[in-house]
């Protein structure tokens, strides 16, 4: 049964994720998918692939997405919503086009798409919408019928289900760091300064959204446990050439600066990510925490939202909100994000490409 309201109707949900290798032989082909068009030499991909070798050549992201998929299905069923939930990736199996073919063959005509990225940016929003456009074109080129209509659900960075879950995880991490009044260090993926400046309908949304979530988290955590009065937003996982300026400071450099300032300890909060995937397990748990230990800075890392029931329920909330059955929920002054992306926001830095789920004109 479709979910129907005054603003529309959907007969499925599509979980859209990044994807990752599931064995050693997948690593370099996967990285070639991720970096296609950027001119990165194969030897550099092999070097980066060593991070995956550390985990047996398997990225944790697909297993985590499967767990989220199962949790969303259970949540919708428990709420009495008869909506099938499908899963498609940008960069590895199941690819989006594979999933859209299955959906078409199952008779699905419309789907609400939830992306495992909570914030506005080219890589976190428009690039997914470009991939959805390409997948629809590929599916419809085989002449077997139209792909389902796809609508992307809005950004959920300041939804209570995301913020409140993260707050509890930060409180737990504060209790494990072993020092009084640790500093909260919020971290997210670095992106080029130009992409940050053009993010969102009016620009600069990427940093503004992260800063609002950091503020909300610090406010909630400090009401429960003793932490430093200040907090920091830092960046990680830079992958661009040195000639292109990216968001800073880097988390490693910042941890060193905190130690030099005699900060007693730090709690690293990966507020830019929804699961403990490679950028968390390698860049934070392996590199950043090892660095903190090497310089004598006590540190702990808060868990991401993962499959916490409060975060899982965000998908249901966004679907019901989109069809007009519930009111939008947002904790920050930025308010609920836009339902449909303006065509000018988060532009592709390598040139315009068609994208799905945006305002015409």
pLDDT tens digits, 34-75: 888 766 777 777 777 788 888 888 899 999 999 999 999 999
Helices 61-78 + 309-322 axis angle, to 10: 60
The rounded distance, in Å, linking the Cα atoms of 93 and 84 is: 19
Classify domain 160-301 by CATH architecture.
3-Layer(aba) Sandwich (3.40)
pLDDT tens by residue, 219-265: 999 999 999 999 999 999 998 778 899 999 999 999 999 999 999 99
> Strand 8-10 to strand 3-5: parallel, antiparallel, or no bridges (unpaired)?
antiparallel
CATH class of 3-156+308-322: alpha beta
pLDDT tens by residue, 127-180: 999 999 999 999 999 999 999 999 999 999 999 999 999 999 999 999 999 999
pLDDT of residue 39: 67
The rounded distance, in Å, linking the Cα atoms of 332 and 215 is: 9
Same fold, 3-156+308-322 and 160-301: yes
* Range 289-314 average pLDDT: 98
pLDDT of residue 31: 84
Task: Identify the residue whose tokens are 């939930």.
Answer: 85
Domain coordinates of the chain in residue numbers? Answer: 3-156+308-322, 160-301
Nearest to 300 by CA among 179, 197, 219: 179
* Range 269-290 average pLDDT: 96
**How far is the CA of 10 from the CAs of 93, 142, 324, in angstroms?**
24, 24, 12
Taken in order 354, 358, 360, 361, the sign of the CA dihedral is: negative
The rounded distance, in Å, linking the Cα atoms of 250 and 238 is: 8
The rounded distance, in Å, linking the Cα atoms of 119 and 200 is: 9
pLDDT averaged over every residue in the chain: 95
Has residue 100 got a pLDDT over 90? yes
């Amino acid at each position: 049964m479709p979910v129907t309201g005054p603003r529309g109707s959907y007969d499925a949900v599509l979980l859209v994720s990044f994807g990752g290798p599931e064995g050693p032989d997948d690593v370099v082909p996967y990285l070639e998918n991720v970096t296609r068009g950027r001119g990165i030499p194969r030897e550099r991909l092999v070097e980066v692939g060593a991070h995956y070798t550390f985990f047996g050549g398997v990225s944790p992201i697909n297993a985590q997405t499967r767990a989220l998929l199962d949790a969303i299905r259970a949540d919708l069923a428990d709420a009495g919503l008869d909506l099938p939930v499908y899963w498609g990736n940008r960069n590895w199996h199941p690819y989006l086009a594979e999933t859209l073919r299955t959906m078409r063959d199952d008779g699905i005509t419309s789907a609400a798409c939830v992306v495992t990225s909570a914030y506005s940016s080219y890589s976190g929003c428009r690039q997914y919408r470009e991939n959805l456009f390409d997948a629809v074109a590929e599916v419809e080129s085989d002449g077997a019928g139209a792909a389902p209509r796809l609508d992307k659900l809005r950004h959920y960075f300041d939804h209570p289900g995301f913020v409140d879950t993260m707050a509890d995880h930060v409180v737990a991490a504060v209790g494990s760091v072993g020092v009084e009044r640790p500093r909260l260090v919020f971290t997210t993926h670095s992106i080029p300064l130009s992409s940050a400046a053009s993010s969102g309908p009016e620009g600069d949304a990427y940093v503004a959204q992260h800063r609002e979530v950091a503020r909300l988290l610090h406010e909630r955590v400090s009401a429960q446990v003793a932490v430093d009065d200040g907090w920091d937003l830092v960046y990680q996982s830079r992958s661009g050439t040195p000639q292109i300026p990216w968001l800073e400071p880097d988390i490693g450099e910042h941890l060193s600066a905190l130690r030099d300032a005699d900060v007693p300890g730090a709690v690293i909060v990966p507020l830019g990510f929804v699961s403990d995937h490679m950028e968390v397990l390698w860049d934070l748990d392996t590199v950043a925490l090892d660095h903190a230990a090497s310089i004598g800075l006590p540190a702990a890392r808060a868990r991401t939202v993962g499959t916490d029931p409060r975060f899982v329920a965000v998908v249901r909330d966004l679907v019901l909100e989109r069809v007009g059955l519930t009111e939008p929920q947002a904790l920050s002054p930025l308010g609920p994000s836009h339902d449909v992306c303006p065509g000018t926001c988060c532009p592709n830095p390598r040139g315009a490409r068609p994208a799905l789920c945006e305002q015409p004109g």
